Amino acid sequence: MTTITRFAPSPTGRLHVGNIRTALHNWMLARKNGGKFLLRIDDTDAERSREEYVDAIRADLAWLGLEPDGEERQSARLDKYQAAFDALRDAGRIYPAYETAQELDLKRKIQLGRGLPPIYDRAALRLSEEERAAKEAEGIAPHWRFKLDHDEAIAWDDGVRGASKFDPATLSDPVVRRADGSWLYMLPSTVDDIDMGVTHVLRGEDHVSNTAVQLQMFTALYAAQHNSAPNVPEFAHEALLVGKEGKLSKRLGSLGCDAFRERGIEPEAIIALLARLGTSLPVEAIAERQSLVESFDLATFGRAPAKFDDAELERVNTAIVHQMSYEDVRQRLPEGMDEAGWHAIRPNLSHVDEAGEWWRLVTGPIEQPDFSAEDRAYLEVAAQTLTWSEDPWHALTNALKETTGRKGKPLFLPLRQALTGMDHGPDMGELLPVIGEGEAKARLERAAAS
Per cent of the chain over pLDDT 70 is: 99
Handedness of CA 386, 391, 394, 395 (dihedral sign): negative
Strand, coil or helix: what is 203? strand
- Amino acid at residue number 190: T
3 state SS for 405-417: CCCCHHHHHHHHH
Q: Which helix (H) or strand (E) holds 146?
A: strand 143-146
Cα 322 to its chain centre, rounded Å, is 22
Return the pLDDT at 252.
Answer: 80
- Say if residues 15 and 41 touch (Cβ distance below 8 Å): no
Residue 246 pLDDT greater than 90, yes or no: no
pTM given for the model: 0.92
Residue 215 pLDDT greater than 90, yes or no: yes
Q: Cα dist. 291→237, 284, 294, 298, 320 in Å?
A: 23, 11, 5, 16, 14
Reading phi first (left if > 0) and then psi (alpha if -120 to 50, else beta), residue 34 is in: left
Could you tell me the pLDDT band of residue 1, with boundaries at 50, 70 and 90? confident
Could you tell me the pLDDT band of residue 248, with boundaries at 50, 70 and 90? low
Residue 255 pLDDT greater than 90, yes or no: no
* 222-239 pLDDT, tens digit each: 999 988 888 999 999 999
Return the pLDDT at 378.
Answer: 98
What letter would DSSP give residue 277? T
Question: Which of 55-64, 169-178, 246-255, 270-279 has the least mean pLDDT?
Answer: 246-255
- Say if residues 137 and 129 touch (Cβ distance below 8 Å): no
Return the pLDDT at 398.
Answer: 97
The radius of gyration of the chain from alpha carbons, rounded to an integer in Å, stands at: 32
d(CA 44, CA 74): 6
CA angle 108, 113, 115 (to 5 degrees): 95
* 44-75 pLDDT, tens digit each: 998 999 999 999 999 999 999 999 999 999 99
d(CA 198, CA 5): 6
CB atoms within 10 A of CB 134: 13
- Amino acid at residue number 4: I
Task: Indicate the length of the chain as a whole number.
Answer: 450
Question: Which of 39-43, 115-119, 190-194, 351-355 has the least mean pLDDT?
Answer: 115-119
* 106-158 pLDDT, tens digit each: 999 999 999 999 999 999 999 999 999 999 999 999 999 999 999 999 999 99
CB-based contacts of 300: which residues, under 8 Å, 6+ apart? 279, 280, 281
In the chain the domains, ranked by start, together with CATH numbers, are 363-449 (1.10.10.350)
Residue 245 pLDDT greater than 80, yes or no: no
d(CA 95, CA 146): 7
